[in-house]
């Protein structure tokens, strides 16, 4: 009896979002909110937030693999994110689009809103839901602040305010952000942003898929 051949899912009609691991939960939330059943998500490591030079080459490889796997519709779930235009070169090379803006802190607020506060926020340290959830893993331990709190001034001495960009209303995350601001010696501001431009960008990418 001939062996039954496994059929590979048709990826041509799917939209693959290759995103920063820091926004994975939010991409999936928007997917559910908008009913984007044909959207699939894969992520690059969230730690690239600290190593922006790794983003463009990793994205290049990820797009090559996605196309080899049969994906015709790909959207990059990153803003420039400190790549200095290198991510744009990768996008142009492969004919794909990315999130508009300089970083996720901008598109969460919405680019129009961010443009109004960008100058005033120059000395602000941003936190998001993800960074609240991962504050110990992303800041305290890697920077050694849990062992050497005296380093806080070295790392955060040039900041004046901690701005928590809240994607959701979670009292526990509010407590983390408030505690972080107090520990870092910064003024505190909470902005309820929701998912900002992420919703519109994913909706637009899905329409063109």
pLDDT computed for residue 141 by the predictor:
86
Closest listed residue to residue 127, CA positions, set 135, 116, 119: 135
pLDDT tens by residue, 164-196: 999 999 999 999 999 999 999 999 999 999 999
- Domain layout of the chain by residue ranges: 11-103+197-208, 111-192
Residues 6 or more apart from 200 whose CB is under 8 A from it? Answer: none
Residue 125 in tokens? 């340290």
pTM: 0.90
- Confidence at 5, pLDDT banded by 50, 70, 90: very low
Residue with tokens 């952000």: 177
pLDDT tens by residue, 126-156: 999 999 999 999 888 888 888 888 888 888 9
Using H for helix, E for strand and C for coil, what is the string for 65-106? HHHHCCCCEEEEECCCCCCCCHHHHHHHHHCCEECCCCCHHH
pLDDT computed for residue 42 by the predictor:
98
Hey, what CATH topology would domain 11-103+197-208 get?
Rossmann fold (3.40.50)
């Amino acid at each position: 009896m001939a062996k039954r051949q496994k059929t590979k899912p048709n990826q041509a009609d799917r939209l693959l979002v290759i995103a920063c691991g820091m926004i994975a939960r939010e991409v999936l939330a928007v997917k559910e909110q908008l009913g984007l059943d044909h959207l699939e998500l894969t992520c690059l490591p969230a730690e690239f937030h600290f190593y922006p030079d790794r983003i463009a080459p990793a994205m290049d490889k990820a797009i090559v693999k996605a196309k080899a796997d049969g994906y015709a519709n790909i959207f990059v779930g990153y803003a420039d994110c400190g790549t200095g235009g290198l991510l744009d070169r990768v996008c142009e090379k492969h004919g794909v689009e990315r999130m508009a803006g300089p970083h996720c802190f901008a598109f969460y607020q919405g680019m129009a809103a961010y443009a109004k506060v960008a100058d005033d926020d120059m000395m602000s340290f941003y936190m998001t839901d993800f960074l609240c959830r991962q504050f110990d893993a992303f800041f305290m331990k890697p920077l050694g602040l849990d062992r050497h709190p005296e380093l806080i001034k070295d790392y955060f001495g040039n900041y004046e305010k901690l701005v928590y960009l809240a994607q959701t209303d979670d009292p526990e995350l509010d407590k983390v952000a408030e505690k972080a601001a107090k520990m870092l010696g910064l003024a505190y501001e909470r902005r309820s942003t929701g998912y900002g431009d992420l919703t519109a960008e994913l909706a637009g990418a899905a329409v063109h898929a």
